[in-house]
Structure 1
Amino acid sequence: MAISVECFLLDPQQSGTLQNRIRQMVAQGILAGRLRPGERMPSSRKLAVHLAVSRITVSQAYAELVADDYLMAKGRSGYFISEGAPQPVPPAQALISHEDRVDWARVLGPRPEAGSPTRGKPRNWRDFRYPFVYGQADPSLFDHANWRGCMMLALGHKDFARMTDDQFDHDDPALLEYIARHTLPRRGILARPDEVLVTLGAQNALWLAAQLLLNQRRTAVIEDPGYPGLREILAQVRCRTVPVSVGPQGLGPRALPDDLDVLFCTPSHHCPTGATMPLEARHALLAEASTRNAVIVEDDYEFEITHNRAPLPALKSLDREGRVIHVGSFSKSLFPGLRLGFLVGPAPFIREARALRATVLRHPPGLLQRAAAHFLSLGHYDAMLKRLMRSFSQRREVMLEAVAHHGLTIAGATDAGGSSLWMRTPPGVSATELARRLHEDSVLIEPGPPFYNDHAQGDHYYRIAYSSITAERIPEGIARIARRLS
């Protein structure tokens, strides 16, 4: 591989002769790992023209680098980074060319990194033999061939403008049509295109809703335990946040405080317990919101993943006052890396959400929107979802049987669907410590503290998902958890 001449730039403030400065520039690039063994350097003529120096100066610098085994000359082929060149210096030992005098602890306002919901989730989860990890895709269940075909369609000449043009704040009309005419009616929701916004997954949708509905003088009610990512979003908004305990049937309407502006809830499958809010409670929740003149943000979490029963109507479908904002996503049912979701609400709200989204990212990539529209409209999504549900149902039965066999305690719902089980540790056992020790057994679970407002309260719970592990491996994985708990 040839190294572009644009990769080289002389520091005008660096002292020494031009020859030494060129030599040092190349050596530092190798030691920093930017220039790698076997890569071809620019010719002395090209580098001389680029740096505005004489060719003999570059040639002499190259000769010194060859003598020190940083470079090697290959006849008429040119100069290459030597295989025997010194290894890159580890970051902790690397020379720092400047002094950072900024006190970032003082300069930064909100610090989202500290509370990020992705902290503690290993990126190498596929290396674990028993990954009871939530929200990742199982390659054995994904329709690779048809997705590849839809990507090819989206790359075709017919869709060229939709893929390449800046659509400003507009979404793919084919994707909007599918969401409005197929996805939402399954939830009992009727919406016009101007009442739907495509987002980068549910996380982006929740962020847009929080930014528009809340400020430092307003109060948000959240579920406890609940989705960790939402808690971090609200911390950035700096609103007053009131956690409300969740029962066996999800959030109870009578538990709501008198003073609230926005309620965030997951009625389809509560995160993380899996509880489903009954129909009567949904009507009662809407009545309470009306009495308090509050807005509800409904995260329709895992509504597609049900086992042998039809999903209950969404809160949005029962809303007669326009006070429910509906959040949906294809990330869990299609694949999480797609990062496509949607926001549904009254046209004035969606208009403002569209304008806010445009200030940050304009719109989700046109290529992905059009490919997803093809995949959905051609029926591939529904067919894959059926296979997914069959596999999840089988895995769920295997997991429930293994859990019962080893006497583990389930703390959440067992008959509401979803793709995970919410578990409780025996008295005195830390879920965080349990997860750490299970790493040694190649078992991956999610400890409960991040889901709770009071992290200590969550250390008695953990989540095990069956979306990313085959049915054959579930029994042994559960057995390893049981041995660590014994």
Structure 2
Amino acid sequence: MSISVETFFLDPATEGTLQSRIQQMVAQGILQGRFRRGERLPSSRQMAQHLGVSRITVTLAYTELVADDYLTSRGRSGYFVSDNAPEPPAFPARRFGTGTVDWNKAIGQRFSPGLSMDKPADWASYRYPFIYGQADKTLFDSANWRLCALQALGMRDFSALTTDYYDADDPKLVEFIARQTLPRRGILANSDEILVTMGAQNALWLSAQVLLNRRRRAVIEDPCYPALRDILVQSNCHLSTVAVDADGLPPDALPDDTDVVFTTPSHQCPTSATMPLARRKTLLAKAEAEDFIIVEDDYEFEMSFLKSPSPSLKSLDQNGRVVYVGSFSKSLFPGLRLGYLVGPAPFIREARALRATVLRHPPGHIQRTVSYYLSLGHYDALVRRMSKAYQARRNVMDAALLDFQLTVAGKGVYGGSSIWLEAPGGVDARKLAAELRQDRVLIEPGAPFFADPEASPSHFRLAYSSIPASRIREGVALIAQCAQRLRGTGNTHAK
């Protein structure tokens, strides 16, 4: 029996090349049971005419389906659904509900609502996306990344691709981190002092789980990275917040019973304040005198285009009191989810054992791809390109903020990718953000960064990592106009 060509149509919602969309169309028909074993497909010529594509595209799609055993070719007779093609399940799919379970009682611990940051999935469709932490496709080196991924897929790296490392990591990546990445921050570490993680957030979670319990006290900056606060709240430790100033975390404000301090000294999150060298030494001396541990999140140290980066806390640590968190996700792309922990061997041993119980290790193929991208020099070239672009965008933004008289609350000494602002006249940045979306402008309200979101609702963050320089001034103008309009209508926090 032949399958009518009228049965086939390309769903406009599907993504990929024409060839892959045709493959998906045929495969779905087989998996859904609409096309059965032994049935003949339309000829490549018929299908091409019907779909309005080239015949070679259809032929290549059919050939791939033959290779995957969805189809079989019978000489001059054409293409047929293979006898070995997957069959749809014999039982009907059923939608399940909560049934008779009272899930309010069944859930032993609650973790929702989870991340409190609101970053729309369609951020790239906005004309003025002052959004933090997203990749700019005009800057990313996709060609060399693709080549490194293909190299990692080769038979030479078959073991790295397929091996279950259990609790270990790709030795090539660990070696590069130890010999190239860490020395740039003044850090020397052995392989047993390095652990690859699923991004910096995973590293922070591992650190909290290993270092804290219900009896210990953690200290975080205020404002700080909201996901870190969520991690520590879930750990059930005693939690204190310390307000940052223009130089970051003030050591003298730490509670006497501190056990672990989480800090972002190079680019304080979100104010971008940089902790001076003297304060770093004071913090380390206090940690030694009062016997507490410091977890240093050194995100964005690569983006120090205004001045050379200041020494990391870990590089100044003489007593093994600093656990260092680094990330490749910030400088490569956020979807990579690859970071690393550096600390004394006893700490890394426990973090490694905990990681193994949750996810064993980050995917070997991703680790090997990154190791190639780093070792072949592509990463350094990317960082230089990004730094140059960020500096140009930063110059435009600085001038625009000055011209439109927007108040800068923090912009960092060394660079980074964002600026911390305060809306004029007590305007609530959450309302400002909601209004600006109508003008295709995205900003990041600052309330979620604070322990008390109502304490400072006028702050917001403007990032320049994902917006071209040519649109920055116009976008800043719209922000200033909207802020003045809200101020004039009394639409402020005080109201």
Whether the TM-score (by the shorter chain) exceeds 0.5 is yes
2:426 aligned partner: 428
Q: Give, in angstroms, the shift of residue 364 of structure 1.
A: 0.3
Q: Secondary structure at the match of 1:105?
A: helix
Cα gap change, 1:360/1:393 in structure 2, threshold over 3 Å: closer, same or farther?
A: same
Aligned to 1:121: 119
How far did residue 427 of structure 1 move? Answer: 2.4
Distance in 2 (CA, whole Å) between partners of 1:106 and 1:77 is 53
Q: Given residue 298 of structure 1, which amino acid in structure 2 is its aligned partner?
A: E
| Residue identity (%) | 57
Distance 2:35 2:198 in 1: 47
Q: Match for 1:394 among 392, 395, 398?
A: 392
Contact 2:244–2:250 (Cα < 8 Å) also in 1: yes
Displacement after TM superposition at 1:481 (Å): 0.4
333, 336, 349: which one aligns with 1:335? 333
Q: Which residue in 1 is equivalent to 2:457?
A: 459
1:285 corresponds to: 283
User: SS where residue 362 of structure 1 aligns?
Assistant: coil
Deviations 1:246-268 (A, max 9, x none): 00010011111111100000001
User: Does the aligned pair in 2 maintain the 1:294–1:323 contact within 8 Å?
Assistant: yes
Residue 344 in structure 1 maps to residue 334 in structure 2: no
Measured in 1, the distance between the counterparts of 2:111 and 2:299 equals 23
- Cα deviation, 1:69-93, whole Å, max 9, x if unaligned, reads xxxxxxx999xxxxxxxxxxxxxxx
Answer yes or no: is the 8 Å Cα contact 2:132–2:417 preserved in 1.
Answer: yes
* Corresponding residue number in structure 1 for 2:363: 365
Q: 1:153 aligns with which of 151, 154, 166?
A: 151
Task: Assess if the C-alpha contact under 8 Å between 1:199 and 1:342 holds in 2.
Answer: yes
Give how far 1:430 is off: 0.6
178, 181, 186: which one pairs with 2:179?
A: 181
Q: C-alpha distance in 1, partners of 2:369/2:252?
A: 44
Q: Distance in 1 between matches of 2:452 and 2:100?
A: 36
Q: CA RMSD in A?
A: 2.2
The AA in structure 2 aligned to 1:364 is P
Alpha-carbon distance between aligned partners in 1 of 2:471 and 2:461, rounded to the nearest angstrom: 17
CA contact (8 A) 2:196 2:339 kept: yes
Q: How does 1:58-73 map to 2 (within 5 A)?
A: none
Structure 1 Cα separation of the partners of residues 147 and 35 of structure 2: 46
Offset, 1:292: 1.3
Counterpart in the other structure of 1:311 = 309
Cα deviation 1:419-461 (Å, max 9, x = unaligned): 0000001223111111111110100010011100001023110
2:11 aligned partner: none
CA distance in 2, matches of 1:43, 1:421: 55
Q: Distance in 2 between matches of 1:277 and 1:44?
A: 65
Cα distance, 1:108 vs. partner? 2.4
Instruction: Measure, in 1, the Cα distance between the counterparts of 2:28 and 2:281.
Output: 68
Contact 1:395 1:471 in 2 (8 A): yes
Q: Give the direction of change, closer, same or farther, for the CA distance of 1:37–1:387 in structure 2 (3 Å limit).
A: closer
**Distance across 1 between alignment mates of 2:385 and 2:359:** 34
SS of the residue corresponding to residue 222 of structure 1 reads strand
Q: Quick one: which amino acid aligns to residue 151 of structure 1?
A: A
TM-score (norm 2): 0.79
Residue 166 of structure 1 corresponds to 164
For the 8 Å contact 1:217–1:239, the answer to whether it is kept is yes
Instruction: Measure how far apart 1:313 and its partner are.
Output: 1.0
Question: Hey, what's the Cα distance between the residues in 2 that align with 1:411 and 1:233?
Answer: 27
**Residues 196 and 362 in structure 2, CA contact (< 8 A), matched pair in contact too:** yes
Match of 1:244, SS? strand
Sort the Cα spacing of 1:327 and 1:98 in 2 relative to 1 into closer, same or farther, 3 A: closer
Residue identity in the other structure for 2:277: L
Q: Paired residue for 2:242, among 238, 241, 244? A: 244
The answer to whether residue 402 in structure 2 is matched with residue 404 in structure 1 is yes
Report the CA distance shift for 1:473/1:348 in structure 2 as closer, same or farther (over 3 A): same
CA distance in 2, matches of 1:303, 1:447: 24
**Retained in 1: the 8 A contact 2:309–2:414?**
no
Distance 1:325 1:429 in 2: 39
Cα gap change, 1:271/1:99 in structure 2, threshold over 3 Å: closer, same or farther?
Answer: closer
Residue of structure 2 in register with 1:321 after alignment: 319
Mapped partners of 1:44, 1:382: distance in 2:
51
Contact kept, 8 Å, 1:451 with 1:458, in 2: the verdict is: no
Structure 2 Cα separation of the partners of residues 101 and 432 of structure 1: 40
Deviation at 1:145, TM superposition (A): 1.0
Amino acid of the residue matched to residue 289 of structure 2? Answer: T
Q: CA deviation at 1:302?
A: 1.0
- Deviation at residue 307 of structure 1 after TM alignment: 2.1
Are 2:467 and 1:472 equivalent residues in the alignment? Answer: no
Cα separation, partners in 2 of 1:39 and 1:308, compared to 1, 3 Å: same
Q: 1:98 to 1:286 in 2, by over 3 A?
A: closer
CA–CA distance in 1 between the matches of 2:128 and 2:267? 24
Q: How far is 1:37 from its partner?
A: 13
Secondary structure at the counterpart of residue 473 of structure 1: helix
The 5-angstrom pairing of residues 204-243 of structure 1 reads 204-243=202-241
Q: Does 1:106 align with 2:105?
A: yes
- Are positions 1:42 and 2:33 aligned together? yes
Which runs of 5 or more structure 2 residues have no equivalent in the other structure? 4-24, 38-78, 82-93, 485-495
CA contact (8 A) 1:275 1:416 kept: no
CA shift for structure 1 position 414: 4.5
- Going from structure 1 to structure 2, the CA distance change for 1:315 and 1:125 (only over 3 Å counts) comes to same
CA distance in 2, matches of 1:37, 1:323: 56
- Amino acid in structure 2 at the alignment position of 1:103: D
